Amino acid sequence: MCRCRMRPDRVADAPVHNRPALMSKLEIHQLSVHYAATGGGSVHALSDIDLSLDPGDFVVALGASGCGKTTLLSCIAGFMQYSSGQILLDGEVVTGPGAERGVVFQKHALMPWLDVVANVEFGLRMRGVDRATRRATALDKLRLVGLEKFAHSPIYQISGGMQQRVGLARALASDPEVMLMDEPLGALDALTREQIQELILELWWETRKMFFFITHSVEEALFLATELIVMTPSPGRIAHRYQLEFGRRFIECRDARAVKSDSEFIRLREEILGVIQQSAHDELDAA
């Protein structure tokens, strides 16, 4: 049993800069996506997705390959058109990419010819932010991810974990309302992955932004999510939802091992693994 428990008054106690902005809200209503299939017909990639995020919500999407996780993130990011339904950010229909949505990919997509800080400030430069402001912002975000000492290192000289921290700082640089992350830790070794999970929770708690995060790891999903959605394929849909507070417990005690060895954490891990395995069997039976 994890001894650390969230004080119920913690959110009310949070400093003003940690409190949610009043207007921010991401709403997804009855979202469906069909792709044209090679050789004719169509793939029903997403069906009737309903999801709602407020500041401080950390939604994690979990599920087997092909259940539509990346398609969902791409629709929220504005990278692709959906077939029906609606995505609203602060009441406005999402029609394309925007600075209020920061994206972190598994492959961090950094520019190797720029140093660390120039990568972080790149988006600000593209939007015409003046040199002094964008440098100050980038250095501030590098401090948040623990990389201020590496601001002038070439990208190729820093480790994969540090590169992913640069990806996080770059996404944070434009101060987005929503952070969108598609398996950002999938390529990292186990120890680095756990360190960056903790960093992500700290960033989440510090900024109170909305997070939408995709992973294949049940343990990672349980640790990070305030709402975990388990998706199943053909068509991609949300089969189960869990409201969780393990991430908040970590913020309270800063002891990830204690949280992850909590009996409730282990029980839910086994339950969700069972759900995913059952859906994989059902899929095979239907094939």
Contact set with ligand ADP (CB under 6 A): 35, 43, 45, 63, 65-71, 236
Beta bridge partners of 59: 212, 227
Minimum distance from residue 57 beta carbon to Mg ion (Å)? 21
CB of 45 to ligand ADP, least distance (A): 4
Question: Would you say 35 or 105 has its CB closer to ligand ADP?
Answer: 35
- The distance of closest approach from Cβ of residue 33 to ligand ADP in the complex, given in angstroms and rounded to an integer, is 8
- Rounded least distance, CB 96 to ligand ADP, Å: 17
Toward ligand ADP, which CB reaches closer, 106 or 192? 106
Closer by beta carbon to ligand ADP, 56 or else 68: 68
Identity of the residue, 54 or 283, whose beta carbon is nearer to ligand ADP in the bound complex: 283
For Mg ion, the closer of residues 69 and 260 by Cβ is: 69
Q: Any idea what the Cα angle at residue 197 is, between residues 196 and 199, rounded to 5°?
A: 60
Q: Rounded to whole angstroms, how far apart are CA atoms 95 and 50? A: 18
Compute CA 271 distance to the chain's CA centroid, rounded to the nearest angstrom: 22
Residue nearest to Mg ion (CB): 70
43 binds, among ligand ADP, Mg ion, none (CB under 5 to 8 A by kind): ligand ADP
Q: Which residue has the tokens 């961090």?
A: 108
Q: Residue 176: name the closest of 69, 104, 73 by CA.
A: 104
CB of 37 to ligand ADP, least distance (A): 6
Strands 84-89 and 237-243: unpaired
Neighbours of 162 (CB within 10 A): 20
- Asked if residue 151 lies in contact with residue 140, where contact means CB atoms within 8 angstroms, the answer is no
Query: How many whole angstroms separate alpha carbon 278 and alpha carbon 276?
Result: 5
- Which positions touch Mg ion (CB under 5 A)? 69-70
